[in-house]
Structure 1
Amino acid sequence: MFAGLQDLGVANGEDLKETLTNCTEPLKAIEQFQTENGVLLPSLQSALPFLDLHGTPRLEFHQSVFDELRDKLLERVSAIASEGKAEERYKKLEDLLEKSFSLVKMPSLQPVVMCVMKHLPKVPEKKLKLVMADKELYRACAVEVKRQIWQDNQALFGDEVSPLLKQYILEKESALFSTELSVLHNFFSPSPKTRRQGEVVQKLTQMVGKNVKLYDMVLQFLRTLFLRTRNVHYCTLRAELLMSLHELDVGDICSVDPCHKFTWCLDACIRERFVDSKRARELQGFLDGVKKGQEQVLGDLSMILCDPFAINTLSLSTVRHLQELVGQETLPRDSPDLLLLLRLLALGQGAWDMIDSQVFKEPKMEVELITRFLPMLMSFVVDDHTFNVDQKLPAEEKAPVTYPNTLPESFTKFLQEHRMACEVGLYYVLHITKQRNKNALLRLLPGLVETFGDLAFGDIFLHLLMGNLALLADEFALEDFCRSLFDGFLLTASPRCLHPAGLRAGGGRGGGGRFWAPPTRPLLWPLPGRRTCSATCCGSSSTCTTGWPRPGWTPCARRWSPRARWVPCLPGLCRPPCPQAGRGGGGGAAPNHALSPLQSGEAVKELYSQLGERLEQLEHRKPSPAQAAETPALELPLPAVSTPAGL
């Protein structure tokens, strides 16, 4: 408690104990000790007896004086840190730290020492090591001091960042799998500014401060984790962190991040949920401005464009442009804005492949996508418009027109073989569902059974689709609609997308917290061609795949380039998934059993059980033909879904 007082020549409890042990008159010894070590103020000597008469203990008096002096000293230290020239004030603070550091373990004076260290831009290395070696001191020091420790200790910084990244992913999954879902409130409803006020983003922003080195470390962690897990939420965090620093006007970082202005412009588009012509030209200018020799910037730009919020905005804008082109009778190839949107989408969708291959080059645009697929999609818009106009005609003018119920084979093939076509096609399905266009939805649903990478069964698409289907609540009373939706689409996911061998905890294509893949290729378990490192950082004896696996590279890197080295694994986030994780029902079970939520929380499993019981009840209570029109709507309580465990 009194550590360090002797170094300053101030008597402490041990000195008093020794004095009382060796003295012959204890009362005189105590009085002399009080005189030598008390408050050296002559006028105080006459006031102390007066306090004694009022029953005020001397300890209480001295403690109040001590607290007052400490507060004054803290104010003075803060004043010194803001007065005069930088060299002079830092010299004063360094001298003060040298004199007071011996008291750093004394609880009553520790705040003063920590305050001095907080205002020093560079604390002496020796003192930083002493603080880092003592857990109590490390926890007590300000984040400004911790930054100086972290920038030279990547592993320690990783320990601090790891829980925040894990919390961020869990929060995104919780929002994505929430039952509080409607067409007006979904995963993409919060504005960018609202999302940046989240706890994790704010903490990371505070931890990074103006330190470029720490910012670079965070980006390295995000790139590595994105490469390892394919979880696109790390891309969201990368953009949110940069824009959070932008809002605080941290020029030291924003000025050196080549993606700053691009992200700023894209953030404005996400806020408006549309990419207009002006901002489209700005974004194009940033892409065209990437100079030869700086192609690695495309890696970060692609990661920012891979953010689900960016993909959502670009896809919505693409569908909207297609509708406008129908009204203008213009082909997609003649629209520069549409071609740019497709260029941005292609760059975002190819982020993982670009980072994994280290080939920083924009993916080539598929010519057939522009000349065949998009015109085909526009023809669907024309079919809808023609049918709607015909339905509004007077009865005597109506022609016997039926809504097309088949899909061109080439359209289905595009959805299966081209990711860009699949993404645009899925957002067109979301658009027609939001427009309550039942006929168009039923026409397109069969084409979603087989899509590129099973994107139609990705978490984000299903999340949005379920919200939009709420607008078609009345249609669920019709057997044909339910059969097409459930039997023709949703239940087809059973044998392929929920196969235990294809499950992988952590991110997935389609943007959710899970990865659904056919059992023929359980991706990332492990990633082919990956080097492995001893997973001591993961706290287990197993091995984990590490980011940037290129020949000749060695662990522990700080720069992201082909000449760089690996970024170390983050504790708790680099552990490879267990191949037995999530194994539930046995093979060959009924479709409903195969659809059981193998890796979901208890709330989801309970909801699944209730749904099964309800379906059984309805099966036993099949109505007679006369009662078929009065079939009650299916109603189930929707409890709040708990956050899925693990990444």
Structure 2
Amino acid sequence: MKNNPTNSSEEHLKNLCAVSNYIHILLTQGYHFNNLSFPFISFEKKVRNKENKVSILFITLGISNGEDLKETLTNCTEPLKAIDQFQMENGILLPTLQSALPFLDLHGTPRLEFHQSVFDELREKLMERVAIIAEGKDEDRYRKLEELLEKSFPLVKMPSIQPVVMQVLKHLPKVPEKKLKMVMADKELYKMCAVEVKRQIWQDNQALFGDEVSPLLKQYIVEKEAALFSSDLSILHNFFSPSPKTRRQGEVVLKLTQMIGKNVKLYDMVLQFLRTLFLRTRNVHYCTLRAELLMSLHDLDISEICSVDPCHKFTWCLDACIREKFVDGKRARELQGFLDGVRKGQEQVLGDLSMILCDPFACNTLVLSIMRNLQELLSQDALPRDSPDLMLLLRMLSLGQGAWDMIDSQVFKEPRLELEVVTRFLPAMMSVVVDDHTFTVEQKLPSEEKSSLSYPTILPDAFNRYLQENRVACEMGLYYVLHIAKLRNKNALQRLLPALVETYNDMAFSDIFLHLLTGHLTLLSDEFGTEEFCSVVFDGFLLTSFSRCNVHRHTLRMLLHLHHKVLPSYMETLTKTLEPPKQCSEPVKELYTQLMEKLEAHKKSPPPTDETPSLDLGLHPVTVPTTTSTPTTPL
């Protein structure tokens, strides 16, 4: 006949307490129970105080303790019999054990060692029993655990018993409030308890939860910034290279996911922290974390949270697009359905949707898709306004770009996309493509058919104006510059870069764009050997704002990789210009020192010429009409 699990657990607990008490006596009173000697050892005050606390616990539980033994030995006339009696009453309650113990004495095994071994085994068995009860299907299982908690909790401060108490707390879905308050009030207990217990504390204590989450959020931002300023400068391995699944395996995302568990209240708290920090700092990496956190819970199939987050399916669909770095027609219609499905009275969800679309990884995917869409429109001689897919992409990009304003104003309404972005800015950008194509075709003509046409240097007024006044147009303009650099089109790049000195909200000097641009410029490394190209890149763009710490830092990052390609006379001027002032940040000073060391080493031993990496631009092949009036430069 099997023992009742609860009764068995209680017996384990009783034996555990008895053995723990016995070990405590052996350790603190200094008696050697081999029937040889019984010297009493005096202790320092600090140790005595700790011992008294434990003794009080045993008295409370009705268990004999060291003080009882001391009193017995003081008043008895036959110490040996008193010791035997105490051992009989307080040792392990197993009759057959008493006759076996002398064999241990004969083998020189101390009683302390034996009891410690038994204690460890009992504790392990009890913890296993607690887990079995919790995982069972008995309707009374949690009541049984609560009863066990009541009996064991007084010993929670005892290091030897504490793991058992923590195990019981861990498996209770609702720990009694009184116990939670006691754990929360004691820093040591709070630190030792499992995350399952802490969740119950956090859900009613937002400030404490904020203290736990805050270091993780700071760590996340530091990691993102470190990636943007990485010493690895490459077009093939940049900030946007890791897949969504890989990014969700980051330490911070995993820790936050574990801390939240299935608790909707804690999830809402984290989202509120992210909104607040996004408002306070305008740092778009908080938007990335918002999306990554939801998808991490999705990966773990936490339906308790995913089913109540209205952004879940939208984020899931967008996540698939980010993985492919392209929004295809089918997914575009799905995303549109989610946006159109926001009902009256539920407009607040637009705030979260805009934050998810403000994620740089989402923006990157949207703009790359826009560029690919424009390429196809060019090949078909179609107008941008006639493409539903393009208009949806612009709608989502506009919603993402307006996230901060929407959350700040608490006016949850989709920002209106200026029609002139489609009717004026995009045609102006296309005219730049046509200019470039016309010049390319002209250069291929026989010399007798060539005209005196020179490459245009002035940009259309509409292009410059919208680059400065409209954030959606500016985002597309910046990605067009990256696309030109990817094609190694030096002429077009020299025409476009000076226009980036004045952009909407200085977007051209953001860390993300500079990170991408410096990586793309490595494809044109040989062009840095000409003064004209250096003048455009440095004098015409980067040095106009190098007083900003981040611009200074990105410029030095690029030079660390391309210094041997830069015209020597120009490099000498740059080293003087870029020398950091005393008040400059340490990373800038370190980069400058590394650059000077590399220049010195290069003078002694010039490095071999770098090979330009091969590229897969990821663009669909497009059939282009053969007439010379149609632009053929891919967008």
TM-score bracket, shorter-length normalisation: 0.7 to 0.9
Distance 1:207 1:425 in 2: 41
Equivalent residue for 1:157? 209
Choose from 422, 427, 441 the match for 2:493.
Answer: 441
The 1:75–1:386 alpha-carbon spacing in structure 2 relative to 1, beyond 3 Å, is same
* 1:321 CA displacement: 1.1
Q: Does 1:9 align with 2:62?
A: yes
The 1:632–1:88 alpha-carbon spacing in structure 2 relative to 1, beyond 3 Å, is closer
Choose from 197, 200, 223 the match for 2:249.
Answer: 197
Distance 1:92 1:104 in 2: 18
Aligned length: 533
Identity of aligned residues (%): 76
- Residues 291-327 of structure 1, C-alpha deviation per residue, up to 9 Å, x if partnerless? 0011111011111111111111111111111111111
TM-score normalised according to structure 1 size: 0.78
Choose from 355, 369, 377 the match for 1:325.
Answer: 377
Task: Answer whether contact 1:323 1:378 (CA < 8 A) is retained.
Answer: no
For residues 150-549 of structure 1, the aligned pairs below 5 Å read 150-392=202-444, 401-494=453-546, 497=548
- Residues 429-471 of structure 1, C-alpha deviation per residue, up to 9 Å, x if partnerless? 1111112111111110111111111111111000000011111
Distance 2:66 2:380 in 1: 90
SS in 2 for 1:362: coil
Distance 1:88 1:197 in 2: 38
* 1:251 CA displacement: 0.7
Q: If you compute each CA radius of gyration, which structure gives the higher value, 1 or 2?
A: 2
For residues 597-612 of structure 1, the aligned pairs below 5 Å read 600=585, 602-609=586-593, 611=595
Distance 1:18 1:441 in 2: 94
Q: Does 1:116 align with 2:168?
A: yes
Task: Answer whether contact 1:299 1:354 (CA < 8 A) is retained.
Answer: yes
- Per mean C-alpha deviation after superposition, the further-off stretch among 604-613 and 51-60 is 604-613
Task: Answer whether contact 2:580 2:589 (CA < 8 A) is retained.
Answer: no
Equivalent residue for 1:592? 577
- What 5-or-longer segments of structure 2 have no aligned partner? 1-50, 553-574, 611-635
The 1:411–1:7 alpha-carbon spacing in structure 2 relative to 1, beyond 3 Å, is same
Distance 1:199 1:611 in 2: 32
Q: Does 1:27 align with 2:12?
A: no
The 1:334–1:596 alpha-carbon spacing in structure 2 relative to 1, beyond 3 Å, is farther
For residues 47-66 of structure 1, the aligned pairs below 5 Å read 47-66=100-119
SS in 1 for 2:415: coil
SS in 2 for 1:5: helix
The 1:312–1:21 alpha-carbon spacing in structure 2 relative to 1, beyond 3 Å, is farther
- Alpha-carbon RMSD across the aligned residues, in angstroms, is 2.6
Equivalent residue for 2:630? none
Task: Answer whether contact 1:494 1:595 (CA < 8 A) is retained.
Answer: no
Distance 1:331 1:26 in 2: 106
The 1:633–1:365 alpha-carbon spacing in structure 2 relative to 1, beyond 3 Å, is farther
SS in 1 for 2:109: coil
| Equivalent AA in structure 2 for residue 379 of structure 1 | S
Task: Answer whether contact 2:371 2:480 (CA < 8 A) is retained.
Answer: yes
The 1:276–1:435 alpha-carbon spacing in structure 2 relative to 1, beyond 3 Å, is same
- What 5-or-longer segments of structure 1 have no aligned partner? 504-589, 622-630, 636-647
Q: Does 1:75 align with 2:59?
A: no
SS in 1 for 2:135: coil
Distance 1:274 1:112 in 2: 53
Task: Answer whether contact 1:596 1:608 (CA < 8 A) is retained.
Answer: no
Distance 1:480 1:227 in 2: 42
Task: Answer whether contact 1:476 1:633 (CA < 8 A) is retained.
Answer: no
SS in 2 for 1:120: coil
Distance 1:174 1:301 in 2: 27
The 1:326–1:159 alpha-carbon spacing in structure 2 relative to 1, beyond 3 Å, is same
Distance 1:82 1:145 in 2: 17
The 1:190–1:375 alpha-carbon spacing in structure 2 relative to 1, beyond 3 Å, is same
* 1:202 CA displacement: 0.6
SS in 2 for 1:359: coil
- Residues 114-151 of structure 1, C-alpha deviation per residue, up to 9 Å, x if partnerless? 11111111000001011111111101111000000000
Distance 1:632 1:400 in 2: 41
Distance 1:256 1:482 in 2: 54
SS in 1 for 2:173: coil
Distance 2:336 2:582 in 1: 43
Task: Answer whether contact 1:258 1:297 (CA < 8 A) is retained.
Answer: yes
| Equivalent AA in structure 2 for residue 70 of structure 1 | R
The 1:227–1:633 alpha-carbon spacing in structure 2 relative to 1, beyond 3 Å, is farther
The 1:498–1:127 alpha-carbon spacing in structure 2 relative to 1, beyond 3 Å, is closer
Task: Answer whether contact 1:270 1:309 (CA < 8 A) is retained.
Answer: yes
Task: Answer whether contact 2:155 2:161 (CA < 8 A) is retained.
Answer: yes
The 1:398–1:41 alpha-carbon spacing in structure 2 relative to 1, beyond 3 Å, is same
Task: Answer whether contact 2:69 2:86 (CA < 8 A) is retained.
Answer: yes
Choose from 194, 208, 211 the match for 1:142.
Answer: 194
- Residues 563-617 of structure 1, C-alpha deviation per residue, up to 9 Å, x if partnerless? xxxxxxxxxxxxxxxxxxxxxxxxxxx99369759563x3431322565798999
* 1:108 CA displacement: 1.0
Task: Answer whether contact 2:336 2:392 (CA < 8 A) is retained.
Answer: yes
Distance 2:108 2:447 in 1: 102
* 1:406 CA displacement: 1.9
Task: Answer whether contact 1:201 1:244 (CA < 8 A) is retained.
Answer: yes
Structure whose residues are more often helix by fraction: 2
* 1:79 CA displacement: 0.5
- Residues 73-111 of structure 1, C-alpha deviation per residue, up to 9 Å, x if partnerless? 1111111011123x3111111111111111111111111
- Per mean C-alpha deviation after superposition, the further-off stretch among 5-14 and 179-188 is 5-14
The 1:634–1:21 alpha-carbon spacing in structure 2 relative to 1, beyond 3 Å, is farther
- Residues 360-398 of structure 1, C-alpha deviation per residue, up to 9 Å, x if partnerless? 111111111000111121222233344444545566765
Task: Answer whether contact 1:323 1:381 (CA < 8 A) is retained.
Answer: no
Distance 1:207 1:250 in 2: 13
Q: Does 1:84 align with 2:137?
A: yes
| Equivalent AA in structure 2 for residue 81 of structure 1 | A
Distance 1:300 1:238 in 2: 9
Task: Answer whether contact 1:477 1:633 (CA < 8 A) is retained.
Answer: no
* 1:342 CA displacement: 0.6
| Equivalent AA in structure 1 for residue 208 of structure 2 | L
Distance 2:126 2:343 in 1: 54
Distance 2:408 2:260 in 1: 27
